Amino acid sequence: MTKQIERVESVKTPRFTVLENGVEVLKASKIELAFERVKLLQAELKPLIVLLDHKEKTSTHYSKTIHQKNYRIEAGNFDIDTAVPPVAEVPETED
């Protein structure tokens, strides 16, 4: 008899990415993990959460302001959300 060995799923490019205010928080291949992270960030009252689906090329925004009771779910722009934000250059200092 051969033993069944559980193998960890290895994915070079994960299907789902969760962003919080433009910072990557989670990369996952299962939707359940991504939704759990979104729920956790909602419990922490984060103002903007973005869920990216790389296979379907969709973006979902979960946003909330101080005066709103619940999160608003809106469709986002996948191309803009996946673009890397420009990094500000730091001026060199003389020693």
Share of the chain above pLDDT 70, in %: 74
Q: Give the pLDDT confidence score for residue 23 in this predicted structure.
A: 87
The span from the CA of 52 to the CA of 26, in Å, is 10
Q: Give the pLDDT confidence score for residue 89 in this predicted structure.
A: 55
Q: Give the pLDDT confidence score for residue 32 in this predicted structure.
A: 93
Report which of residues 18 and 13 the model is more confident about: 18
CB-neighbour burial class of residue 33 (10 A; exposed 0-12, middle 13-18, buried 19+): middle
Report which of residues 33 and 88 the model is more confident about: 33
